[in-house]
Structures are given as C-alpha cells and as structure tokens.
Amino acid sequence: MLLATDVWVGALIRRAEIGGAFAVVARKGDMRAGTVLVKALDRAKGQASLYAEATRGDGERVWMRPVRSHDEAELDRYIERTARIDPDVWVVEIDDRQGRHFLTEDVEKD
C-alpha cells in the first residue's frame, strides 16, 4: 500500500530537518495522489538539483533527474511547465549545506 502524498512529503521534510537541512513545501498538490518534484539546493556551491518520481517497468518507484542542469532558474522553469500540465504536482525544496536530497528510494545515477 502506498502512502498518501501529503504523508510522504511530511516524512521527507522531517528526514531533512533531522539531517540539519531546511525543507519546505513550495507547492502543494493533490493530498492523496499528487506527484512530487524535489529540488535540492546547495547554497555553498550555488547549485541545485531536481528530482522527479517515476515508476520503473517492474512497478518500483525510482527518482530521476528530469533536467541535468544545476542552474536553479532553469529548474524553476521546468517546475513551472510541469505545474501547468499537472496541477496536482507537489514541489519540495530542500536547502542543505551538502546538497542532499534525503530521498530513501532508489535515485538513478547521472
């Protein structure tokens, strides 16, 4: 059984806070079934990374980088386009000194 999106997002934010990062819901989507984008910020390096959830052929959840850029403005443009197409999308921003995303599921390698 999958968790409702609002519960999953709350857990992600809590993991980030426990790890010493600051996390916030930048955009709230559908409480039960909204998709999630995670923007991880590394202010020390002036970089950002964006992660989007996807489902593999075997049905497992995996996170991928839909935009390979580290430019925050470019990532924000992608988020805006996605929100126009999918009004149920959630956006979580995590500001961490090490640029960590705090995702526990598989994350595809670059």
Q: Give the contacts of 89 (CB within 8 A, at least 6 positions apart).
A: 27, 29, 34, 35, 36, 37, 82, 83
Element at 63 (helix H, strand E): strand 61-64
Q: What is the pLDDT of residues 17-71, one digit of tens each?
A: 999 999 999 999 998 988 999 999 998 899 999 999 888 888 888 999 999 999 9
Q: What pLDDT sits at residue 61?
A: 80
Q: How many CB atoms lie within 10 A of CB 96?
A: 19
pTM greater than the 0.85 cutoff: yes
The top-scoring range by mean pLDDT among 58-67, 77-86, 99-108 is 77-86
Structural domains present in the chain: 5-100 (3.40.1530.20)
Instruction: Please state, in angstroms and rounded to a whole number, the distance separating the CA atoms of residues 102 and 39.
Output: 11
Neighbours of 18 (CB within 10 A): 9
